[in-house]
Structure 1
């Protein structure tokens, strides 16, 4: 499947998640809801991993580019760093670790499932 179509599928789930978040006034960001919907569709077999695999791999590969403006902004405004108290920094570290671990376990689970299907 062409890369641009895969990107459109991922974007479709993003927009669907934002729609549900807005309609039902959910406290979870629409992008997270969209990824949960995509995960559910993949698990249920409504969507195939091949439909989004290349575009998702590209986005993950270039994810660090999204953090560059944030880091540069902090370097240009070092006077903002003391405004963050320890609870904020601790929450940032814990949430980042949770995201990393959740992603790692999800990828591992999908890879095992993919190997089982292709055997």
Structure 2
């Protein structure tokens, strides 16, 4: 039951962000706004990280199921992708690397901020 409540809250949060995007027409995707809002809620203490353990564990375990439609789409457009796919591959690798590096830097920074250590 707790898992359903967590997923329902995350869905409502996403729905509110999508509605906000329709009203305000922000220049970036709603997913990014949702992540920023969740970061704000976590950093201010309004939402506790322990509260979302079940949902995060669920989504982590079943991540491959969410990627299956992507893989099917790639198979459907394989001919088009193979013609200029090397450019797409370079973009995917570069963007993935930048996201991983940015996430690592943010995690390190947040860990240092949370531990109270000023030694660097």
TM-score of the superposed pair, with normalisation by structure 1 = 0.73
Alignment partners' CA distance in 1, 2:114 and 2:11: 23
* CA RMSD, Structure 1 to Structure 2 (Å): 2.9
1:56-99 CA distances to partner (integer Å, 9 max, x unpaired)?
Answer: 12112221222223223323543121344544332222222233
CA gap of 1:33–1:112, structure 2 versus 1, over 3 A, is same
Alignment deviations for residues 33-63 of structure 1 (CA, whole Å, 9 cap, x no partner): 1121011100011111122121012112221
Tell me the distance in 2 between the aligned counterparts of 1:21 and 1:32: 11
Number of residue equivalences: 116
Contact 1:18 1:30 survives alignment (8 Å): yes
Unaligned runs of 5+ in 1: none
Q: Distance in 2 between matches of 1:102 and 1:86?
A: 24
- 2:79 is paired with a residue of what secondary structure? helix
TM, length-normalised to structure 2: 0.73
Q: 1:58 to 1:109 in 2, by over 3 A?
A: farther
Larger radius of gyration: 2
The whole-number CA distance in structure 2 between the counterparts of 1:113 and 1:53 is: 22
CA spacing shift, 1:15–1:112, aligned 2, 3 Å: farther
